[in-house]
Structure 1
Amino acid sequence: MKEEYVVLVDSNDRKIGLMPKLEAHEKAVLHRAFSVFIMNSKGQTMLQQRAADKYHSPLLWTNTCCSHQRDGESNLDAGKRRLFEEMGFVTELNELFSFVYKAPFDNGLTEHELDHVMMGHFEGTPEINPDEVADWKWMYPADIKEDIENNPNKYTEWFKIIFDKFYHHLISGKVNEGQSK
């Protein structure tokens, strides 16, 4: 398997180099990433449960998909690529906002990412990749918020951070039918 590299960036999202993905997570180096949220016409968000053999956060619930841009790949192209690789479908995505976060894990790895948060719409049933995803479900954002408060150990560390920002973005009225205002 070919080693994956992440794009190292400064706080203004300017590329400053490349590093193997695992090394970047071991050293907690700031790198570019993205998080995709898929909504349906009922206003529900598609969540995925990470596969059991993931090297961190196995079997925890998280947003529809997330990963890292490849060198030279646009944010939206990366989001569409990974959405297809993990969930088996493609849809148009809109970038909503980006921000920097840092989330350490029990295994010594740390996510330190400049995360580009995207949203799209889908009405069908995904064809999940079992190497990446154990399960999936639709939930209303208010129910996700409540479940995170009541059962935080069921969710990935980054999802708890990103979802809070996504939820406030939704309820502030900055998103209407999947379009940024």
Structure 2
Amino acid sequence: MTDREAHLVELVDEAGTATGSATVTAAHAGAGQLHRAFSVLIVDGGGRFLLQRRAAVKTRFAGRWGNACCGHPAPGEDLCSSAERRLAEELGLRSVPLTPVGVHRYRADDPETGRVEHEYDHVLVGRAPADASIQPDPTEVSEVRWIDVDELRAGLDSASPEYVPWLAGVVGVWLSAERPAERSRER
């Protein structure tokens, strides 16, 4: 397996326009460099979210609960293809089509490692049944669980250090995208 920290990420400006590239390590050091990323939310038929606890060996926010999958497309790489590949690598979930629903731009310092997340984070959503075969890669994920959206929102509202700092924003992007769809179905 290659060292993921040596992979290249795409640096971007505030509007998400590509400006160059850097290694994962360089993009997450010092003040951090704004770069393209993705966060995948997997939702089941009951509206529950699939969460993963990040493995203890992760270089940023290890041991915290986060969305189903996160990653960085290589410079110029197709966003959905990259996210679908990472979803298969991290959780063994294949053939789950992903739909982009918005962007969450954020910056978060990890007090444990001194590294920083400064990301132009594309939020993608996929649907999977709660009984889907999930096979976590132990170098990425220590455990998974399904959680009701109201329970998740209560935990996020309490600013619990149990969760990664970007999760509230990512869930907010999804909820904002879903509300118009729900209103149109009610008509």
> Normalised by the size of structure 2, how large is the TM-score?
0.87
User: Partner of 1:173 in structure 2?
Assistant: 180
What secondary structure sits across from 2:153 in the alignment? Answer: helix
Offset of residue 175 of structure 1: 6.4
- Is it true that 1:102 corresponds to 2:107 in the alignment? yes
- Superposed, 1:77-156 pairs within 5 Å as 77-90=81-94, 91-106=96-111, 107-123=113-129, 124-150=132-158, 152-156=160-164
User: Partner of 1:11 in structure 2?
Assistant: 14
* Distance (Å, rounded) in 2 between the aligned partners of 1:15 and 1:155: 29
Change (3 A) 1:6 1:130: same
Unaligned runs of 5+ in 2: none
Structure 1 counterpart of 2:144, which letter? W
Q: Is the 8 A contact 1:141 1:167 kept in 2?
A: no
Structure 2 counterpart of 1:89, which letter? L
* Runs of 4+ that moved beyond 4 A: none
Unaligned runs of 5+ in 1: 177-181
* RMSD of equivalent CA atoms: 1.7
User: Partner of 1:161 in structure 2?
Assistant: 169
Q: Is the 8 A contact 1:169 1:175 kept in 2?
A: no
Tell which deviates more after alignment, 28-37 or 99-108. Answer: 99-108
- Superposed, 1:3-42 pairs within 5 Å as 3-27=6-30, 28-42=32-46
Report how many aligned residue pairs link the two structures: 175
> Normalised by the size of structure 1, how large is the TM-score?
0.89
Aligned-pair identity (%): 30
* Distance (Å, rounded) in 1 between the aligned partners of 2:28 and 2:181: 32
- Is it true that 1:62 corresponds to 2:69 in the alignment? no
